[in-house]
Structure 1
């Protein structure tokens, strides 16, 4: 009988800092997110280390004393991977690896690894590969420290090319090829978008893991992959949706995240073009998350960066079924979560419902308040379509009949 091998998750330590720009509460929240990213990548975080610093140490990110503490813990518990909650420079990576003598990752490399695992289509894989190459290029020194210079020969006087210079040239050439490949695909996708005709385009945007794909499945009656993990969806999905006999295109886009690597923003340009060219944005928010307001700000920041912040937008607060009140236990003054949650009427009395009267509260999973959601989207799509095509459009008569 063949024995089944037990799959053990890679044990990880997480390392963050508390600085003048990032207080303790923010640091804990970022580390919570880093832990979720680690879980998504297939690891398990067993210990967190934080240090208060005015600014991160330019040589080792954290102080040498704290780094020694991390090293002792990792050796005592047989842990071989450390993940830092910020992007590390090439010199910081090199210096930290010398001390810890283990695999060292930063937030950016972890996100890139998750993207590489999640990419399904050739287009998504090309985008991720480009981002990985751009990230790797300045950090090649740490991979080739054991290699010596190549020997020169006849016609090759001088020091010759080092192994690292050879690899840098190879990666630069690969970056050039990947960019050319993406340009070709971008042109094809631009033609596809152009060929979609006069239909109004609606894009789902929001932080990662807020329920965009679940809502897409419910509204479009499609089968887009959805999972309770970060970046479950990388590939842009476009579906034709019809509400009250009025068709429009609904796009599910990649989720945003705080400290999103600049390499990914650049390589996923075409995916973000779907947002840029949308007529209406549905900004999905996970209202059950304790820091959803910060998530809103992060998404708005990225929308501003891609010049899409001023588009007509409906705020859709999702997951109202899992939102829980917090109550205080009078005996030991410990905050406990209860199973109670607000009713729809209570949500509609909150400050969030006063956002330009363009706000909805739903549960995509339980299909709660979806009729109001569809009605709101229908009205906005109708408004955009009539403004753009006031005459000679076959849908205009249908609009008047529906009214």
Structure 2
């Protein structure tokens, strides 16, 4: 196998939603109450819903195409962004340039778990807009290029019955996963151990969909010093995935739902072998806790492998220990357009790590696409023949795509001149 022979399916990317996204998906009687983008007195674009500014910046961490010294969490305007952030046609061009066949895109304006809607005071209106959001994501963004995007949706986390209903609704539309809180109790909701979420989890099993728990919302589970820099959030984020795994494994969730599948989105993999050592030793050593029935005589690490997909962007140590993790539960991510992304050199980054770890061709195929497609029930070749799905074949379609980095003000000047990112 050569690098150009790889088939890349990314199970974690993000979209910066365009301001006109609600135009075709909100019933006419509510259209004037849909979330909208306004430019504040500092010249910064912001989403506003029910009179309140969304707590998630419109373009959080969307710095792809900028020089690293300008990276940060808050681009000021759509015109400062690489167009692939918010334009699905440009996104597919950028995917081709990076040799990526398919992508699962997480929200931004709504928060990775519908935070914007959950924080609003009129929950009936919020539900209308959440449904419109999901319809846009499935029927417009994903449907624009069949086979290139794995549909993912949000649920109204403020009401478990509504959440279960939305799972069933979007499942009928072909959605493959939902994005949800990794540590619900931190945000004031019942924990996974409580049993409260069971109707939603049952709906996921019935619809054969995946529960994606993306890092980020659970940061407050770590009591950081008030002086802690942003580095603490960025470096320690993966540790929250371990806490999430603990809630799932040592609570009733996985016993009640033997068919439940959970992706630890952007959670990394390097921590998993240590965690396995710890939980398996704990299980066998602490007999007084009587976990035999909980795990049906199996090791906790084995139950983890039955249910959970461990996802990474770049993780040399984790790949070295892939046999301890389980080669069938590892999946690759690109994280476009965030600061952690390896775009436009994801094949080079990944191939180098695979070579350093001594991965076989079979292992590379599993990590880059096969595991993800099996886990999410996604046929990568339904629309794209296998020989046209490789890194080399896709990059051959993108020889005209300029991947040069430019300062944000240069992006603004160029985009404004071309009318790109300028919304009326």
Normalising by structure 1, we get a TM-score of 0.31
Structure showing greater radius of gyration is: 1
Give me the TM-score of the superposition, normalised by structure 2. 0.30
- Relative contact order (C-alpha < 8 Å, sep 6+): which is higher? 2
Indicate the structure with greater strand content.
Answer: 1
